[in-house]
Structure 1
Amino acid sequence: VVGSALMARSINPEVLVVAVAYAALSLLWWWWPSERRPASHGELMLSPRQALATVGIDMASFAILSFVDRGFNVNTAALMALPVLMTAVLMPRFMALAVAAAATLILLGGAVIEGMLKTNLTASLTPAGLTGFGLFTVALLVSELSSRLAREQRSARGNMELARQQAQLNRLVIEEMPEGVMAIDRQGRVRTANPSARRLLSAHGQTPAAPFQLRGVPAWEPLVSAIEKAFTSPLRRDESREIQLTFDDHTRRVLRMRLKFTRGRDLQNLDDVCVMFLEDLRTVQGRIRQDKLAAMGRMSAGIAHEIRNPLAAIAQANELMAEDARTPEQQTLTAMVADNVERLKRIVDDILAVAPGARPAAPAIDLERMLKSVIDDWLRLNPDAQQASLLTVDTRGLPPRELGSVASVVFEPEHLRRVLVNLMDNALRHGSGQAGAIVVSAQVLSVSDHAPQAMVSVRSDGPVIDGDTERSLFEPFFSTRSRGTGLGLYICRELCERHGAS
């Protein structure tokens, strides 16, 4: 209509009315509030109401336009292809075929009317029939292509969701890694960094979240130099290196660094991004030390088992020699052998107490009675402490037995005895020796959202432990005494952790 107006051609009023009505319906459909809401994610099909309002109106308008055409030469076949295409893309296949059938009927109806008017029905029906066949073919082909496209889109959406989940899992794993991980480019710009890496790069707390620049910070210059060297020396790019960071407050931190590079598409050249793995050297050394201790513990347990039999033979032979000892020198030697045999027995028992292996479940024991039994036995073995009233017991924090309440703990009795004896021996050894120098107390603690817990403490009035000693206090074979085995507190901690205590 607009083209005819521009070319100053006469316009059929009926055609003009149909065109204006179709334009008005299109604008009304666009303006209607219910149709202005965005479609839901992934919606590819038209609802029946939308199909009736769009495809139906299109076909009705085009049919009316073809019937009222009088010399305007409207290409109705081309217009009918539009609703067929839209239906084939957005609706099921049977609906596309139904629309193609309706369009064919409209074309055949128009051809019949035209043939009756021109008295040449065959010449009018042949193009209409061929056009209808073409509409059916277009509907089938476009519907098949649309179905394949929809399947590919669903598959792509599923793959994107899997990729998103995998990316989240990777991010969670990297965020929780104790090892520092950073992605850095050639210019020293950190693109991403997990919390462990940000803590290692800061003297206190964490560095700001990535991205950030390593260049320009004096403390990070060793990192920048190592990255530049790795990019220029590809043969040594995967080796571990140790670098030292010196922060503004003059604190130092030695890190072990490893670099990994990604390859380009040709699998030959390196990308401009590398992944850096950082670990505190103290953590690495601690892990190595723990591995050595574990191996040494297994070996020590095996040796302890082998020592028991010859040690028993030595003890028995020494008892036989003690019966025949007549002179003071002989009695002194046999007593020395007996003392050292007992010392070796204690060392073997201590090693076997923490040796790995399956053990039966610990029973529930009465804590107050267990404390009384252990303390009485310990006082009998240390009469000087009993005479000087060195030990004070405080169980006021436990439930009163008069009311029928008993504080029970799940702990192997012999293991608890060993822990308490070791702690009281240390308290006696390092205490002042005054009355009340050693205090053993027990109480029940109420913890929110957890079952009540019992706390047993052994303390003395001895000097405060210095920092260097405190750091190594629970390491095996560490002792401040020349004749100490260094296993006492280590065994205490191992036995407590084995029973869920600390």
Structure 2
Amino acid sequence: MSRAAEHGTERRAGGEAERRRSGRRSTDGGAATEAWLDPFGQPAMRTRPAAAGMPAFQRFYRLFLGARAVVGLALVVAQVTGSVLGVRSVSLAMGLSLGYAVQALVVWLLPRFRAAPAGIALSPPATAATIGVDVAVFSVLHLIDPASGFNYVALLVLPVLMAAVLTPRITSLGTAAVAALVLLAGAWRGGLREGDATLLMTQAGLAGIGLFLIALLAGELAGRLAREEASARGSLELARQQAQLNRLVIEQMADGVLVVDRRMRVRAANPAARRLLCDEGMARPAPFDLGALPQWAALAQAVAEAFGANGRGERLRDVVLPFEGGTERTLRLRAGFTGRRAGDGLGGSGPGMSEELCVLFLEDLRTLQARTRQEKLAAMGRVSAGIAHEIRNPLAAIAQANALMEEDAVAPDQRRLTRIVADNVDRLKRIVDDVLDVAPGGAPNARVIDLATEVAAVVAEWARSVQLGLGASSRLEVRFDTQPDAPPLLAAPAPLLVRFDPDHLRRVLVNLLDNAHRHAVERPGAITLALARLGEAQVQLSVASDGTPIAADVERHLFEPFFSTRSRGTGLGLYICRELCERYGASIEYRLRAADEPNRNEFSVTMPLVVADPSNGPPP
């Protein structure tokens, strides 16, 4: 078997993989051209002709078909020229040459014959139509027309070479053996006619040995070419997979990635970077000019300064992008540099191939600060939970000892002191319970409830506890907006199904109502509680009051633990509210309403609705 056939499995797998890749490129080529890395695409690879990417076996096959057609035409021309010049020729040789030329042209020109075989070796029909025909025609010409002056021995090299490259080794050696036997038969026949058999047989033997050497050497070279081609195609496939993986990772990154040249031309931008560069929506795909918009001027200046520093190492810098409407976004930049050199295997040479490029990594500073704050709070929560567990036992001992002392206390001063101890023990117990309630790892006791019913019950209970009426002149005004012409809160509004623990909902709502009641003025409607649907998927519960607007420096720390503006406050109320809301997929936020709106301080809780199946009743 030839070396090409020895690596048949490799070549077959490579051919099938190439055909599958070709099919995929025909379907997803459009998507590939829109990938963020497209500005670094390699034109030489994308625009090369189809034949350049054809496996060597198919290229050799087409080359041999063309060579057969040329040889056939040359034979016809030689026969005609010999007849014109008076060289003796026979009609059979002319007929064979003409027939061979027609057959070679048909095989070469017709698409059905010219199409390269799908395998790694010629099929038996293809072998018979090419190599078999060549050996038969050239052998007959050599045997029937020895005295015409034409030497047909050299023509036998073509089928031997074709068999060595395109067929297994046994076939190529068989072809060389048949050709050698034909040469020996011709020499024996000539020796009988001319009487110099020894010399002719020696020449024929040497020619036969040469044909065998051609078959062996050509087969070895074809095998080596097949191995190198399989290795190259494997490397190309690995490089393509790596590029696709890199593209997928960068496109899905939360951080923005920009690639900028010295002319401030953005060569590539992932979706996150395009979002960060605009206040709303996304910037247009690369390439684009970083100096095209005024709000990008600070970013362009930062890139220019990074290039001016000779691109050594990575640099951190914060840049503010001002947008229309007075809004702005602060980006943290991290710059790195890379150079592309001609001849480094990245697609050849050309304009810009040796140009140094700046790779910018963009992060929204607010997102970064929020992530850092969340990590700190999570660590603090774990530490606080451990401390709370350790405090419980000595706290219980203090409470028990204080109760025993209170039983024996007779003097008013002693009773007053024991009461102070008891009050502070109760306060510490509440703090411990609050910390443990929001400790990480607690599984929520979530069940589907009717939010309207639960809110109505909590509001009624809270109003009684603070001795607050619910009439028209009450400080508390309740509103429902769950459907057109909705009834008052306590008049059976439309059900709103959410997944929330009732005790935790009561805790969140009571905390918000207590804060509003503490800071609101004494007038009707100073506190507003509203429940409203937000589309088909969410509901919002809000509590607003007309107290003094919260200062900006206080607002930043509202939901942080142990932050309080009251001397006896624990600073855990709003923090616990946020942790409980997030446990059930809800969110809580504060906003300051416009100056012309009443009750400007508003805390709102947004919850996802649970869709009920009418055929099965409400969800469990």
Give the alignment's TM-score, normalised by structure 2.
0.65
Letter in 1 for 2:384: S
Structure 1 equivalent of residue 71 of structure 2: none
Deviation at 1:356, TM superposition (A): 2.9
Higher RCO (CA 8 Å, separation ≥ 6 residues): 2
Q: Secondary structure of 1:240's partner?
A: strand
Q: Matches of residues 6-17 of structure 1 in structure 2 within 5 Å?
A: 9-10=85-86, 12=89, 14=91, 15-17=93-95
Are the structure 2 counterparts of residues 440 and 214 from structure 1 closer, same or farther at C-alpha, using a change threshold of 3 Å?
closer
- Alpha-carbon distance in structure 1 between the residues aligned to 2:462 and 2:275: 53
Give the corresponding residue for 1:189. 265
Q: Distance in 1 between matches of 2:511 and 2:306?
A: 56
Q: Structure 1's 376 and 197: CA in aligned 2 closer, same or farther, altered over 3 A?
A: closer
Out of 399, 422, 427, the residue aligned to residue 315 of structure 1 is 399
Residues 143-292 of structure 1: matches in 2 within 5 Å? 143-234=219-310, 236-247=312-323, 251-262=327-338, 272-292=356-376
Residue 326 and residue 417 in structure 1: after superposition, are their counterparts in 2 closer, same or farther (change >3 A)? Answer: same
Say if 2:528 and 2:545, in contact at 8 Å, map to a contact too.
Answer: no
- Amino acid corresponding to residue 300 of structure 1 in structure 2: S
Q: RMSD of the TM alignment (CA)?
A: 4.3
**In 2, distance between residues paired with 1:117 and 1:19?**
25
Question: 1:452 aligns to what?
Answer: none
The answer to whether the aligner puts 1:424 opposite 2:510 as a matched pair is yes
Distance 2:579 2:446 in 1: 19
Report how far residue 264 of structure 1 moved.
6.7
Any idea what SS the aligned residue of 2:315 has?
coil
Corresponding residue to 1:100 among 172, 176, 187 = 176
Amino acid at match of 1:76: Y
1:458 and 1:211, CA in 2 relative to 1: closer, same or farther beyond 3 A?
A: closer
Distance 1:384 1:282, change over 3 A: closer
Question: Normalising to structure 1: TM-score of the pair?
Answer: 0.78
Q: Distance in 1 between matches of 2:498 and 2:465?
A: 30
- What residue in structure 1 maps to residue 561 of structure 2? 476
- Whether 1:57 aligns to 2:133 is yes
SS at match of 2:359: strand
1:140 equivalent to 2:216? Answer yes
Q: Given that residues 511 and 574 in structure 2 are in contact (C-alpha distance below 8 angstroms), is that contact kept between their aligned partners in structure 1?
A: no
Specify the alignment match of 1:35 in structure 2: 113
Give the alignment of 1:74-113 within 5 angstroms.
74-113=150-189
Residues 56 and 364 from structure 1, CA distance in 2 versus in 1: closer, same or farther, beyond 3 angstroms? same
Structure 1 segment 381-460 matched on structure 2, within 5 A: 383-384=465-466, 416-427=502-513, 429-430=515-516
Unaligned runs of 5+ in 2: 1-73, 345-353, 479-488, 587-606, 608-620
Provide Cα deviations, 1:427-453, integer angstroms capped at 9, x if missing partner: 355368989x8989999x998xxxxxx
Say if 1:394 and 1:99 are closer, same or farther in 2 by CA, change over 3 A: farther
User: How far has the Cα of 1:292 moved from its partner?
Assistant: 2.2
Instruction: Tell me whether 1:488 sits opposite 2:566 in the alignment.
Output: no
Gaps of 5+ in 1: 400-406, 448-454
Which shows bigger deviation, 72-81 or 19-28?
72-81
Equivalents in 2 of 1:287, 1:408: separation in Å?
28
Task: Give the corresponding residue for 2:422.
Answer: 338
Alpha-carbon shift at residue 383 of structure 1 (Å) = 3.7
Q: Is the 8 A contact 1:396 1:442 kept in 2?
A: no
Checking the alignment, whether the CA contact within 8 Å between 2:513 and 2:543 is kept in structure 1 is yes
Deviations 1:292-337 (A, max 9, x none): 222322332333334334433443454455442643x665554444
Change (3 A) 1:39 1:175: farther
CA gap 1:38/1:207 in 2 versus in 1, 3 angstroms: farther
C-alpha separation in 2, matches of 1:75 and 1:242: 84
Change (3 A) 1:471 1:306: same
Q: Which residue of 2 aligns with 1:293?
A: 377
Distance of aligned partners of 1:446 and 1:191 in 2 relative to their CA distance in 1, 3 Å threshold: closer
- Tell me whether 1:379 sits opposite 2:461 in the alignment: yes
Q: Structure 2 vs 1, CA of residues 44 and 211 (structure 1 numbering), >3 Å: closer, same or farther?
A: farther
Q: How many residues align?
A: 476
Matched to 1:93, the amino acid is: R
Distance 1:264 1:196, change over 3 A: closer
Q: Is the 8 A contact 1:393 1:440 kept in 2?
A: no
